[in-house]
Amino acid sequence: MDTHHLTRMANQIGSFFEAMPDRQEALAGISQHIKRFWEPRMRRELQQYLQHGDGAELSGIVLEALQADDDWKV
């Protein structure tokens, strides 16, 4: 699947949660949203992108959320 499209979707999710005053809640919200709504091949693609790339296409909070939690991974 198109990695650029997936990172863009992840950043959109990040933008919603980033406004939360509780940073931990926001981080958990991002990774849990991806776990609960993204089909495994989409998560796998994102996972591979993180493993093999520098994550530059991801916003700071999304990168932090995905690195802080393994639960979303396939």
Binding residues for other proteins, rule: CB under 8 A, are 1-2, 5, 9, 12-13, 15-16, 18-22, 33, 36-42
Per-residue tokens: 47: 């996972």
Backbone phi and psi for residue 23, each to the nearest 5 degrees, phi listed first: -60, -40
Beta carbon nearer to other proteins, 33 or 69? 33
Residue type, 25: E
- Rounded to the nearest whole angstrom, what is the least distance from the CB of residue 19 to other proteins in the complex? 3
CB of 14 to other proteins, least distance (A): 9
Task: Judge whether 33 and 13 are in contact, CB under 8 Å.
Answer: yes
